[in-house]
């Protein structure tokens, strides 16, 4: 991804710690892909009926991360309250999805990978949140 280059060449100031911002944006992109793929992998499992909550939280997490990623990619006239609230929603969505995926991690390796992506994204969003006054 070209996140660092895009940040460096943007005419506006970041207003946030650049390293934390890049890490959050790239973790979000990874989490969107992983959750979308995990929902679909669960859907293909013979035990799909036991994976309903996992599929649902995967889809929610992908949707919430997509929105959060777009907000963080914009530097022009950022609204701090909106950014903070969306990051908090993202921490909640990633945390809930990680917890559910972890329950199936031994049975389904895609859930193990997804739990890890969600935990990393949750951490990156949480770290960024602490820097927003």
Q: Residue 7's CB: how many other CB atoms inside 10 A?
A: 17
Q: Site residues for a copy of itself, window 37-76 (CB under 8 A)? A: 37-38, 40-41, 43-46, 48-49, 52-53, 55-57, 59-60, 62-64, 66-67, 69-71, 73-76
In whole angstroms, the minimum distance from the beta carbon of 116 to a copy of itself comes to 8
Answer for which of 16, 23, 24, 86 binds a copy of itself (CB under 8 A) is 86
The Cα 119–Cα 115 span in angstroms is: 6
Instruction: Please identify, using beta-carbon distances, which residue of 74 and 127 lies nearer to a copy of itself.
Output: 74
Q: Site residues for a copy of itself, window 95-124 (CB under 8 A)? A: 96, 108-110, 112-114, 116-117
Concatenate the DSSP letters of all residues of 70-126 into one string: HHHH--TT--HHHHHHHHHHHHHHHHHHHHHHHHTTTT-HHHHHHHHHHHHHHHHHH
User: Is the distance from CB of 25 to CB of 3 less than 8 angstroms?
Assistant: yes
- Does 93 sit near a copy of itself (CB under 8 A)? yes
The Cα 78–Cα 107 span in angstroms is: 43
In eight-state DSSP terms, residue 133 is -
List of residues contacting a copy of itself (CB under 8 A): 1-3, 5-7, 9-12, 25, 29-30, 32-34, 36-38, 40-41, 43-46, 48-49, 52-53, 55-57, 59-60, 62-64, 66-67, 69-71, 73-79, 81-82, 85-86, 88-89, 91-93, 96, 108-110, 112-114, 116-117
């Amino acid at each position: 991804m070209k996140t660092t280059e895009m940040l460096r060449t943007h005419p506006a100031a970041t207003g946030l710690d650049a390293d934390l911002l890049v890490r959050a944006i790239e973790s979000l992109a990874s989490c969107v892909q992983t959750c979308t793929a995990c929902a679909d992998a669960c859907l293909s499992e013979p035990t799909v009926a036991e994976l309903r909550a996992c599929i649902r939280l995967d889809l929610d997490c992908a949707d919430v991360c997509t929105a959060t990623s777009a907000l963080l990619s914009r530097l022009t006239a950022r609204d701090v309250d909106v950014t903070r609230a969306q990051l908090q929603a993202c921490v909640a969505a990633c945390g809930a999805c990680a917890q559910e995926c972890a329950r199936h991690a031994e049975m389904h390796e895609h859930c193990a990978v997804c739990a890890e992506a969600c935990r990393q994204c949750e951490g990156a969003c949480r770290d960024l949140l602490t820097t927003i006054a």
